[in-house]
Amino acid sequence: MVSFGLEGGAVISLQGVSKWYQGQTKVLDHVQLELKKGDFLYVIGGSGAGKSTLLSLLATEELPSSGKISLFGYDLATVSPSTLRAIRQSLGYVPQNIRLIPDLTVFENVAISVSLAGSRVLKKESRARILELLDVLGLAGKKDKAASSLSGGEAQRVAVVRALARSPEVLIADEPTGSQDRDFTWTLMDLFMRSNVAATTVVVATHDREIVRRVRKPSALLKAGRMSVEDGLCTL
């Protein structure tokens, strides 16, 4: 695990971040955001509001069209490739479109993500943790099944395990409960909260208002690319 030595500093910092695609109106418009170690934030908003766009910027999948994004104090536009790698190794990202590797089994999908984050050879503890997470999410019996054979909800839970098993410093989850029934929704939220208690910074995008109501945490509303505070506690 990389130590960024940023006790008290912002883990995630967005300054005037805008994003637009060729010939389109702004998907994100001057977004300001600052999250410290151990913060938790919901990003809510209607379909097409820009939630996934924001999260993919946080996951270093894309660069903003203007403005500045810093992770662990490093400006993503100017960071060196090796530091960028180290940053990426400390992130856990659950993309909305899941993206499992279909050629690999469920266990291998998780294991490859874990081994890229830490030691090349999977440690005993890591293996145990993967199996435990799979078990909690009702996937123990599927661990040797091909990822391509899973249902949408199962694949989504594997994507969550894949992100959590690497014990990330920042967890970015895009509609992680989108295809889940109520039971699994609360199990997933419980896992996120536990990880957050262990000082992981968590960002969850959702349009499920019930989650936000029942698991009370700060939330930010995206509407036509502009961000506003829905429920305080975080600096915008």
Partner 1 sequence: MYLVKLALRPWRQAWMSQVISVIAVALLLFSTGFVFWLDQALKPVVSRLQHEQILTAYLSTELSQAAEAKTLDSIRTSLGASADRDLKVVNAEDFLKKLKVHYPELTRELQDLGEESLSIVPRYVSIAGVFSPSELGAAMDSIKAIPGVESVETTQERAKHSLSAFETVRWVARTVAVGLVLSLFTGLLHLSRMNSQLHRDVAGLLKNWGASAWTLRLPGVFSGWIVGAMGGLSAGMLFLLGGEGLATQLRALAPALAAVPIVSPGLSLALVVGGMAAGVLAGFFGEQSYQRD
Ligand X SMILES: Nc1ncnc2c1ncn2[C@@H]1O[C@H](COP(=O)(O)OP(=O)(O)OP(=O)(O)O)[C@@H](O)[C@H]1O
Task: Assess 36 for contact with ligand X (CB under 6 A).
Answer: no
Does position 130 interact with ligand X (CB under 6 A)? The reply is no
x/- string (CB under 8 A) for partner 1, residues 153-192? Answer: -------------x--------------------------
Subset of residues 32 to 51 that bind partner 1, contact rule: CB under 8 A: none
Q: Centre a 10 Å sphere on the Cβ of residue 218 and count the other Cβ atoms it contains.
A: 18
Q: How far apart are the first and last CA of the chain?
A: 29
Is residue 179 a contact residue for Mg ion (CB under 5 A)? no
| Cβ contact 185:137 at 8 Å | no
Strand order across the 10-19 sheet:
28-36, 10-19, 66-71, 74-75
Q: State both tokens at 86.
A: 């180290």
Q: How far is the CB of 129 from Mg ion (least distance, A)?
A: 28
CB 16 within 8 A of CB 68: yes
What is the DSSP secondary structure assignment for residue 7, as one 8-state letter?
Answer: T
- In this chain, which stretch among 9-17, 41-49, 54-62, 214-222 interacts with partner 1, using CB under 8 A? 54-62
Contacts to ligand X from residues 61-100, by CB under 6 A: 96
We find the least distance from the C-beta atom of residue 168 to Mg ion, in angstroms, to be 20
- C-alpha span between 177 and 189 (Å, rounded): 8
103 binds, among partner 1, ligand X, Mg ion, none (CB under 5 to 8 A by kind): partner 1
The number of C-alpha atoms within 13 Å of 187 and in the hemisphere containing its C-beta is: 15
* # binding residues, ligand X (CB under 6 A): 13
Nearer to ligand X, 95 or 168 (CB): 95
- Nearest Cα neighbor of 189 from 154, 169, 222, 213 is 213
Tell me, residue by residue from 141 to 170, as one string, x for binding to ligand X by CB under 6 A and - for no binding.
------------------------------
Tokens encoding 114: 């874990």
Crossing angle for the helix pair 106-117 and 124-136, nearest 10 degrees? Answer: 130
- Rule CB under 6 A: is residue 45 a binding residue for ligand X? yes
The yes or no reply on residue 87 touching partner 1 (CB under 8 A) is yes
Q: Which amino acid is at 125?
A: E
In the complex, the residues that contact ligand X under the rule CB under 6 A are: 21, 24, 27, 45, 47-53, 96, 207
Positions that interact with Mg ion (CB under 5 A): 51-52, 96
